[in-house]
Amino acid sequence: MLVALGACAVVAIVLAAEVGASAVKRSLVGWRVRVASGRVEDIAAYDPGRERRAEQRARELLRSCVGDDDWAMYRDLGFLRVWGRAGSGMRAGHGVAPYAYLIYPHKPIVAYVPRSARLLSEYCVAFPDGERPYGSSRLPASDDVLAKWMALTGDEQRLIENANLHLAGRQLDPHAVRADIAALDRWERERLQRERRDAGSVPAP
């Protein structure tokens, strides 16, 4: 009698487990379908032509705001350098600011010491648009750079307070950043030499 009852109990447990597993399996499949359909919608909303046009407009806006030198820097090197507030009034060739920032599109802002190329810290900051037009909260790359530039030159303290501070090297490869700093030095030297050469040259009759 006890053996029969035990066997019945085992069968009941196995059946319950089977039914439960099926229900879990069904809900998992449903979740996967929902997730997958969400991805399909995101992909459908992504239009490379629209993104390209948006980036082109963003580049024009950036160019109109930052001036010729900084625009050339961004166009040639892919990033902008902004002097720290303590270096206000100093420019390349006229003195070295105590610290400066490198602004990359959709990457952390890097603070460094121009005199030694020592990396100080990374400031992770984003400008997410809650309206998410076309399903994305990300600004075009050049708008992201311009937003960082405006915030840094307009109110450095406010931007830094809103950013997540990390040691240099957490997100960006320090070797790559130092290579960028070296490239910036070369770029500025060559530009200065070109300007001097052009200023000293006598136009052909």
Residues that bind another protein (CB under 8 A): 47, 50-51, 53-58, 60-61, 64-67, 70, 89, 91, 108, 122, 124-134, 136-140, 143, 146-147, 149-151, 153-155, 158-159, 162-164, 166, 170-171
Provide, rounded to whole angstroms, the least separation between the CB of residue 41 and another protein.
Answer: 15
Nearby residues of 64 by Cβ (< 8 Å), 6 or more positions away = none
Nearby residues of 115 by Cβ (< 8 Å), 6 or more positions away = 96
C-beta of 60 vs 185, nearer to another protein: 60
Sign of CA dihedral 75, 187, 87, 178: positive
Give 104-117 as a DSSP string. -TTS-EEEEETTTT
Provide, rounded to whole angstroms, the least separation between the CB of residue 162 and another protein.
Answer: 4
Provide, rounded to whole angstroms, the least separation between the CB of residue 150 and another protein.
Answer: 4
143/65 Cα distance (integer angstroms): 11
C-beta of 172 vs 184, nearer to another protein: 172
DSSP state for residue 167 in the 8-state scheme:
E
C-beta of 20 vs 95, nearer to another protein: 95
Provide, rounded to whole angstroms, the least separation between the CB of residue 70 and another protein.
Answer: 7
Nearby residues of 141 by Cβ (< 8 Å), 6 or more positions away = 55, 58, 105, 106
Provide, rounded to whole angstroms, the least separation between the CB of residue 105 and another protein.
Answer: 13
Provide, rounded to whole angstroms, the least separation between the CB of residue 125 and another protein.
Answer: 5
Q: What is the largest CA-CA distance in the chain?
A: 120
C-beta of 30 vs 135, nearer to another protein: 135
C-beta of 133 vs 205, nearer to another protein: 133
Q: Give the residue ranges of DSSP H helices in 46-85.
A: 48-66, 68-77
C-beta of 1 vs 43, nearer to another protein: 43
